[in-house]
Amino acid sequence: MTQRPQYIYTGGSAVMHSPLQLQQANMYGFFVKGGLTQLQATVDTALNQVAAGRMHFKVLSPYVLTTFTRVGHANSTVPVDRDKGWITEVDIVTWIMVGKMDEAGKLSHVYWYPCHIFVDDGMALINGRELFGYPKYLCEYEIPQADAEPLRCAVSAKGFQPFSPDTQIAMHPLLEVNAVKKINPHRPVNDFLDFLLQAFELLKSMPDFLNMDVAGWTDVISLLFKPRTDQIFLKQFPDSAGEKAVYQAIVAAPANVDKLHSGAFLGYEYTATLHPFASFPLDQTLGLPLGDTTAILPFNLQFDFTVTPGEELVDNSQIEPEKIAILGGGVGSMTAAYYLTNQPGWQNKYDITVYQMGWRIGGKGASGRNAQYGQRIEEHGLHIWFGFYENAFAMIREAYAAMGRPAGAPLATWQDAFKSHDFVVLSEHIGDEWKMWPLDFPQLPGVPGNGSEAITIWQAAVALLGWIKKWLDEIREGHLPDQSAARLSAPGQHPAWLHSLAAFWELDVGHLCADVADFVLRLNEFISGLPELLSEHTPLQRDALASSIKCIKQWNDETVLPLLDGNDELRRLFICVDLGVTILLGMLEDGVFDHGFDVINDADFRDWLTRHGANVPLVVDSAPVRGFYDLVFAYDGGDFSKPNAEAGTLLRAMMRISLCYKGSIMYKMQAGMGDTIFTPFYQVLKARGVKFQFFHKVEELLPDGDTVGEIRLTRQVAVSAGSNQYAPLVYVKGLACWPSAPNFDQILPQQAALLQAQNINLESNWSNWPALYEQAFGEPLPQVSLKKGRDFDRVVFGISIGAVAQLCPQLLTQSPALKATAEKVQTVVTQAYQVWLNQDLAQMGWTDQPEGQEPVLSGFTEPYDTWAPMDQLLCREDWPAPLDPKNVSYFCSAMPVDAFPPVTDYGFPARCAASAKQGAIDQLDQRITALWPNAGAPGAFKWGWLVDQTQATGAVRFDSQYWRANIDPSERYVLSVVNSTQYRLATDGSGFSNLYLTGDWIKTGLNAGCVEAAVMAGMQTSRAMTGYPKVIKGETDF
């Protein structure tokens, strides 16, 4: 059994034994309001980080107790020290009231944490620090004498203000409390319990004093009503480098009140003044405002007390963190890392390293800055966040707060990084003409990521019925020949269900059926009161609901369809109504309300609509339906003649996107996705202590029984300062960004020169870099072998599903479930191009910009069906005059690639890129006039519009634009083809006990390729590994 050695008292030691007796104490105290966020952060750092989940401490009040105390006589009660003599001391303390919470979140103990302590005596400082962990520091002070009026208390300390290499240490004022005026006589107290009772009666009148509910108030009072103060400390001693703690513990030590000689609540009003002081930033640690603020509940006590020996609540001096290897740096991986490190004390539990191929994180969301072309932003495609991304926005809002960028800095807050967007356009090919269907979505209450509950399937259906009512109102008011056309059915043709509905509102059937829009309004009222599960409906209720929807559909077919000829507005309203009622009818008939969306995943969405009676040429082939297929690249092998999307998964996504958003339906990032999302990820995780190993390409995972036993990687380059010292970011106009190529000045010069001379892409699966390296240097690229138990304990596999078969062949042989996932969950190649133009959108001929919003357009001609002007990004680029563009337009779509050659076919990426380029040139030259009327007739595109610093002519100017084919396994888009969701695995479902899968390809509950699904996957990975976070929005349909 190990034990600690005896403490050695050397000659001249000032350390004494406890208990310590302090008599003739004269204390002046005040409560000053701080900030709960800053206070909790301080407690998290000092206490919860050390506790590391073994216990948890919560700040109970935003009010900081600040005390100024003279002690007339202080000594140890242990004879060997008592006989040495006694001292006087002054203690000035800022106290935070904290509660130890039990596993159920209930308050179990109240402590006072002395965040800052200033003393006037060296022996008091030494004994306080070394015995208990009091964070004591020497000071100068002002405290009223015992017989003087309590007009002023103040503390100054020696330190640095401001922090600067040129600043010499000096004495600076820190905090003062001054009487303003006397408003009442001093009110005496009889004893310590009387003091507590009067204090809490006053504080109970302040609703913001306790960060607790009513039950919490009762708990606090019951725990505090005793003649002692339970103090809690972080006690630690550093090693000689100041890096590691050779001893670290949470210590509690009661201060027992032996006798209260006298006391009073003071009759003055007081103002506290906090001065800026870099060495003691009380505005940051306590959230106290700089300058003047009110100090409340002033009191004075004269008493004796004893500080008893401390008790170690947690000894954190020895830790054995578990090693976690995270493979890949996409959204899922970074989210897992974020939540694994989001609890105080995570460093005591985990040692996390991210292994990333190439020079940047981001996966298919990565972006880069091209220094040769005005630091322009180059992306994998168009990235826009939807307003229903509850988990993604919650996390990125936290990340921006954690970065703490100064006000006025580029993208200082998440609100700076995202701007709401409401304007969507669907392009329709009617006859030989392209027509534009503008949709200006209304703003809804709420802010994405604010934590409120999402709506259920039933509530979404009710909302959809409300939209159907709106569309029918527009049909009735603007397109029917007369009011009689709004009638639902002819007199005398009313079945039992209709009589039942009429009876519900105490109406006759004729009145109920007189107007289709009024009928839908009443139907909405009817279903709003029904149970959310259809199994709980009565047969008559089920019949009434289904029959009502069929009745609306029949009316739309019989009344509206014949009126469509040449009327675009009415045709679009017909599509909306038919699509809405078909969806509701299909959900009713197929049991979606009882069993969730996955129950209809055995059918393609278009086939499912057809099966339930949707008009095929007008609705199944409509722009809204095609727009959603384009959105998720839902085409087998990129073949646009083979649309394939699970009905349930696509319908879930459609309803969440269009009915469940907060604020706006979309949010546009104000820089590249790398700059907006992955820079905050990287900077926050790096600051927390996560390690990043760039240029590490995963080659294979090898099993060891039912675990992953080895990970084989290739180290792609040698970083001059060491493999873990690569600094990946560059700064453009003050914003930290990812470059479009490695920072070659950090790579060994010979390797950097060869990489640049051969234009090597270190992110490519078909790179010839290994062969070139061996040819040039006479040896293969270095191989790295990570071994279980030595280099990792658990593995987070955050590389996309497209790479699983290549990287995990032996795991697939051993795990049928993982093999089925790799075979059934498919991906598709995508392609994109960006063009920078010297014309603005209006000059190009697009004039529909409601309230200045540019369109996000889908359903256009292939090979690029989606377009969005992204002019908000131009201010983040750094173009030299006169090249500065007036517009940047993004185009993207699926790409027809149905087979992938061996990795030794080094020409494959170039062939795909050439195809993407040619498709872009053809679209600009032959078809773009449908979007940009002033761009020239087909075959006569105005190539001079393209910004080109080489001043080339004709289509050659496109060479200075940006295009790409996303063919690599980690870049392909994850599909939800028919019947594939059932093969998706949970994060811990691979069959290997130390392997955790993450990314938008696992079973998240959303089960579709998007940022939100990847974030949910990362959260689920963290939860499977640590139990945190407990709540993930949107995991189920109910």
CATH number (domain holding residue 352): 3.50.50.60
Please, which residues have CB within 8 angstroms of residue 547's CB and are 6 or more apart in sequence? 495, 497, 498
Give the domain-ending residue among 938, 966, 994.
966
Q: Which bin fits 797, alpha (ψ -120 to 50), beta or left (φ > 0)?
A: beta
Q: Which of 13-22, 122-131, 865-874 has the highest mean pLDDT?
A: 865-874
**Same domain, residue pair 944 and 998:** no
- φ, ψ for residue 472, nearest 5 deg: -65, -35
897, 883 in Cβ contact below 8 A? no
Q: What is the mean pLDDT of residues 364-374?
A: 97
Domain region containing 542? 455-618+645-658
- Whether residue 681 is contained in a domain is answered as yes
- Evaluate whether residue 993 is within a structural domain: yes
pTM: 0.89
> What are 582's two structure tokens?
């078909």
**Residue 158 predicted with pLDDT over 90:** yes
Contact 45, 68 (CB under 8 A): no
User: What confidence tier does 491 reach under pLDDT thresholds 50, 70, 90?
Assistant: very low
Would the pLDDT of 672 be above 90?
Answer: yes
What is d(CA 424, CA 665) in angstroms, rounded to the nearest whole number?
Answer: 9
Round to whole Å and give the CA distance between 455 and 697.
42
What is the strand order of the sheet 866-869 is part of? 433-440, 423-430, 856-858, 866-869, 887-894, 830-837, 962-966
The pLDDT of residue 209 is 80
pLDDT at 959: 98
Confidence band for 654, pLDDT divided at 50, 70 and 90 = very high
Work out the burial of residue 420: count CB atoms within 10 Å of its CB; fewer than 13 is exposed, 13-18 middle, 19 or more buried: middle
Considering the chain, what is the average pLDDT of its residues?
93
| Secondary structure percentages of the chain, helix, strand, coil, to 5 | 35, 25, 35
Q: What CATH number is given to the structural domain containing 100? A: 2.40.400.10
- Token reading at 117: 């302590």
Does 693 map to a domain?
Answer: yes
Q: What angle do CA 896, 897, 899 make, to 5 degrees?
A: 155
- Structure-block tokens of residue 799: 């590389």
Shared domain for 513 and 654, answered yes or no, is: yes
Q: Is the pLDDT of residue 365 over 90?
A: yes
Are the C-beta atoms of residues 344 and 1030 closer than 8 Å to each other? Answer: no
Structure tokens at 378: 């180059």
Confidence bin at 500 (pLDDT 50/70/90): confident
784 in a domain, yes or no?
Answer: no
Q: Are residues 701 and 685 in the same domain?
A: yes
Q: Quick check: is 410 in a domain?
A: no
975 vs 722, more confident: 975
Q: Residue 629 has what pLDDT? A: 97
* Each residue's pLDDT tens digit, 610-651: 999 999 999 999 999 999 999 999 999 999 999 999 999 999
Question: Same domain, yes or no, for 375 and 482?
Answer: no
Q: Do 929 and 852 share a domain, yes or no?
A: yes
Q: Verify that 214 and 65 share a domain, yes or no.
A: yes
Q: What are phi and psi of 105, to 5 degrees?
A: 85, 15
Q: Counting beta carbons within 10 angstroms of the beta carbon of residue 186, is it exposed (0 to 12), middle (13 to 18) or buried (19 or more)?
A: middle
Residue 891, pLDDT score: 98
The pLDDT, as a whole number, for residue 77 is 94
Q: Is the dihedral of CA 202, 204, 207, 210 positive or negative?
A: positive
Q: Are residues 222 and 77 in the same domain?
A: yes
Q: Is the pLDDT of residue 740 over 90?
A: yes
Q: DSSP string covering 332-365, please? A: HHHHHHHHHTSSTTHHHHEEEEEEESTT---GGG
The whole-number average pLDDT for the span 123-152 is 92
pLDDT in tens, 173-197: 999 999 999 999 999 998 877 787 7
**Domain boundary, last residue among 636, 658, 680:** 658
Angle of the 516-528 helix axis to the 457-478 helix axis, nearest 10: 170
Calpha distance 36→59 (Å, rounded):
7
Judge if the upstream peptide bond of residue 162 is cis by omega within 30 degrees of 0.
yes
Do 559 and 471 reside in the same domain of the chain? yes
pLDDT at 201 exceeding the cut of 80? no
Specify the pLDDT at position 1. Answer: 63
In a domain, 640, yes or no: no
Q: For the chain, report the end-to-end CA distance as a whole number of angstroms.
A: 54
Would you say residue 785 lies in a domain?
A: no
The whole-angstrom separation of Cα 328 and Cα 354 is 7
Residue type, 406: P
Distant-in-sequence, close-in-space partners of 109: CB < 8 Å, separation ≥ 6 = 99, 100, 223, 230
**pLDDT bracket for residue 227 (50, 70, 90):** confident
Of 231-235, 461-465, 650-654, 685-689, give the lowest mean pLDDT range.
Answer: 461-465
Q: Which amino acid is at 644?
A: N
Q: Is the pLDDT of residue 69 over 80?
A: yes
Instruction: Among 24-33, 199-208, 282-291, 461-470, name the one with the lowest average pLDDT.
Output: 199-208
Residue 166 lies in a domain: yes
User: Are residues 183 and 87 part of one domain?
Assistant: yes
Domain co-membership, 850 together with 989: no
76 and 114 co-located in one domain: yes
Predicted confidence (pLDDT) at residue 207 exceeds the cutoff of 60 = yes
Q: What is the DSSP string of 397-461?
A: HHHHHHHTPPTTSTT-SHHHHEEEE-EEEEEEEETTEEEEEEEEPPPBSS-TTS-PPPPPHHHHH
Residue 219 confidence (pLDDT) above 80: no
Structure tokens at 866: 């989606």
772-798 mean pLDDT: 97
| Contact predicate 90/119, CB 8 Å | yes
Q: Which of 966, 985, 1011 is the last residue of a domain?
A: 966
pLDDT of residue 493: 61
Residues 112, 196, single domain; the answer is: yes
What are the tens digits of pLDDT across the range 73-104?
999 999 999 999 999 999 999 999 999 998 88
Does the structure show a pLDDT above 70 at 453?
no
What pLDDT score does 513 carry? 81
Q: CA 2 from chain center: how many Å?
A: 44
The pLDDT tens digits of the residues spanning 883-927 come to 999 999 999 999 999 899 999 999 999 999 999 999 999 999 999
pLDDT in tens, 534-592: 788 888 788 888 888 998 999 999 999 999 988 999 999 999 999 999 999 999 999 99
How many domains in the chain? 4
pLDDT at 178: 98
